[in-house]
Amino acid sequence: SSSSSSAAPLPPPAASRSTSQNDVHPKLRRDASDFEFGATLGEGSYSTVMAARDKHTGSWYAIKILDKKHIIRHKKVKYVDIEKNTLNRMNHPGIVRLYWTFHDQQQLYFVLDLARNGELLTYIKKVRANSLATPLGAFDLPTTQFYAAEILSAIEHVHEMGVIHRDIKPENILLDENMHIKLTDFGTAKILESLDDGGKDSLTRHRANSWVGTAEYVSPELLNDKSTCKAYASSAIISFLLILKSAAPNQSPTNTNSPAASPHLSTSSDLWALGCIIYQLLTGRPPFKGSNEYLTFEKIKNLQYTFPYGFPDVARDLVSKLLVLDPATRLGAPEQGGIKALKAHAFFEGIDWERLFELPAPKLH
Ligand code: ATP
């Protein structure tokens, strides 16, 4: 690797086969020597993702490689565990599948579905830059309807598996070779009713260190949770002070419950993000965007966004029912009939939910 950072994990050496296990059934176990590593697909703050071919089957995967020392040094062990434990629960065509995990002396490896077409965000930008984009700025209504439905289908599965994703955004929605989505990045997810809680309130156990989401897509209830604010602020101390000041004495009008009511633990935080994404798919930009994180948060908390001229009525109706400050009154919230009620919205009319991932994806211009 040409990377100068000592923290960047290197591709594994070609001959690092562990002798601890014989060649058991090739499906049962894998280690780095079972793969031929190809191109680097991307780098995260704590990981490198490489394309890799299974030598036994010829199948291609994306392998996420994490440097153990780096993870420990930066206190990210917990997030790596969360990613593994939540991904392990998932079994849905619209969610990146985790096939194997293994490790050697230096590195951890996650063998994942390969999403050959990269991030949805890239396509939003591409279409936006293209003169063929709709007058609104990005995808046309049928294309938006299709991707919104795939994202919603994936979200439904995440929630059914007892998980809240908490960082759904176009960078975390990858596209496979057929341009169907693969939701990824479960490092900030939250397992709702963990069996090993021993009856304890998981909220009190987890909230102290939780850090959640990305500014533009974070829901107001997550913002009004002080521990979340603190986490965001780690990137900007000034924001931290300003947010605490505005959040502490004067809670948003919707946050009337005591923390015990845990509004921020609601699955509908992911539905807020869906509302933001539908808006962005149509217009090319997220609904809430300030010139810094603090201003973005202010806009979110004040529900300060507008629909541009030409925004389709049916999408406008849906987005305005998702971008609702109170998570309990948001369309798709358990209190509102759940995701079934959301799927029944006119915006999704004509969607074949059963065959969505088998049907051809719409062509992007
Ligand atoms: P950070 O950890 O800083 O938030 P990240 O979550 O993007 O970054 P990774 O999950 O390591 O970090 O991903 C790094 C890059 O690799 C991303 O840009 C992503 O597009 C690409 N990538 C991740 N998973 C896959 C995959 N399964 N298939 C194809 N590309 C992938």
Single-letter amino acid, residue 233: A
Atom 1 (ligand 1) nearest CA: 44
Looking only at the bridges linking them, the beta strands covering 60-67 and 107-112 are: antiparallel
Distance 225 CA to ligand 1 centre (A): 27
Per-residue confidence (pLDDT) for residue 13, from 0 to 100: 35
Alpha carbons 272 and 328: distance in angstroms, whole number:
11
Atom 5 (ligand 1) nearest CA: 44
Q: Is this complex scored with an ipTM above 0.95?
A: yes
**CB of 298 closer than 6 A to ligand 1?**
no
pLDDT digits 0-9 by tens, 166-188:
999 999 999 999 999 999 999 99
Q: What is the mean pLDDT of the chain?
A: 82
Q: Quick check: 96 and 183 in contact, CB under 8 A?
A: yes
Give the residue, 11 or 28, on which the prediction is more confident.
Answer: 28
Distance 311 CA to ligand 1 centre (A): 32
Give the residue, 232 or 73, on which the prediction is more confident.
Answer: 73
Residues 6+ apart with CB under 8 A from 219: 213, 264, 268, 269, 272, 273, 300, 327
Q: Quick check: 75 and 60 in contact, CB under 8 A?
A: no
213 pLDDT band, cuts 50/70/90, is low
Per-residue confidence (pLDDT) for residue 212, from 0 to 100: 52
Q: What average pLDDT does range 146-161 have in this prediction?
A: 98
pLDDT digits 0-9 by tens, 112-122:
999 999 999 99
Q: Quick check: 176 and 207 in contact, CB under 8 A?
A: no
Q: List, by residue number, the catalytic residues.
A: 167
Q: Structure pTM?
A: 0.82
Which atom of ligand 1 sits closest to the CA of residue 119? 20
Atom 21 (ligand 1) nearest CA: 42
Distance 185 CA to ligand 1 centre (A): 7
- Containing H/E element for 51? strand 47-54
**CB of 176 closer than 6 A to ligand 1?**
no
Per-residue confidence (pLDDT) for residue 128, from 0 to 100: 82
As given in the structure block, the two tokens for residue 90 are 């998932």
